Structure 1
């Protein structure tokens, strides 16, 4: 089935075409000006940060040669030619990697639970006291502003070497990050179920339990799984300062120039993160599909 389109006469069409051309030209000018301003800002920032392209170009060979050295055993052979020699410390590294995974898991779960409480108290539509909301918001900002490795250093001094400082550092940083995300999710919920429970005499906790959580649980779980992936990498890094896990072994290998050990540990971390990413992605999609099916 064909449809005919009436074309206005030239005197009537010309002003519309001119207006369209002017609008397109104005948009292109805006984009061009924005691009120029962005390039100028990048250039000024690079000067202020002492980013020098000549130094980068002169030293780029050191970067590539280091990764080339990671592929060599002490005998000079490539690492993949002798996997047994390459992964000579597999048993010890596996135990330390398992400890890193547990640090990330415990820190994420604890931080997520406390982050739910922080998100509820920091949300504008649920927090009954402006003072409490202000205090909780500032606490969450502090927790996510301080790097987790700084928290780890503080806790190592306080509690000594081991996984406990790592768990505490991961927990605090997770509270700050997830608390902020949870608060934003809560502020976008439908308040009608909450008002209905309130109208029937339900307590504030009942409103949270039956009116809020059913709407946000899938998002909470999705954000928590994403945070677990980040925390696994973070747990490996904070091991550099003695907070337990595979990071302690990795920093020793780096400092002593045990190149093949560095590459073996990095490969184990990479495989672990890939498996975690794959599993958490599948679980997130199932949660979101279940939420949409309701």
Structure 2
């Protein structure tokens, strides 16, 4: 029963709860450099039938920056622990967890720790590992990731302005790249740099076979961050999962194709 909107956990992660109090809970989690605002065109479409929960990872959006602990958040497990604390604080079960980008793997870790809280996983542009290996295509060579992280550390605002349009992947709609750039630039550079290293150097491939929650993998076309072979790998690795390749291009369909994203999620949940 959700009774208090001012608990420490909810303050820490800037948790918002809207929608149908009697509906199935659906939780939206944002990716690197973003905030819960990334779901502003998607989440409201679920409010008639679902209890809609959005939140900011610590260090992002309107979260409590004083709660950031570099030790705790030195791996994605720290963020997964926060997700479980939010669900416990709100007393939610049978949760639909919608995780975009790095939050897809955060959701994977959370459900493998406490599968009883979850009823479905929706992984939007997931990547368990960004670096290519001999038998795995992640999309980047190690030197690419090293250069990306060095550039981010040297000039975060400049990196954001250069990278956001490429990540968005819609040169014909520059306003989308500008929106993502603004989101990046609202993130504390020091925290963003640490989160980037945790994100881009992580390897969660071994966690995927442990997922027992029904899972939908939503893969965009022409995604430079999580290309199609990565989505296919996630689908093959999670038992019984469903893969849908969207018409949308780029890495952020929650901004570029919110209606298509919403339609596919609702179709899967039906």
**Do both proteins adopt the same fold according to a TM-score greater than 0.5, normalized to the shorter chain?**
no
Higher relative strand content: 2
TM-score with structure 2 length normalisation?
0.23
Name the structure where helix makes up a greater proportion of residues: 1
Q: Output the TM-score relative to the length of structure 1.
A: 0.22
Larger radius of gyration: 1
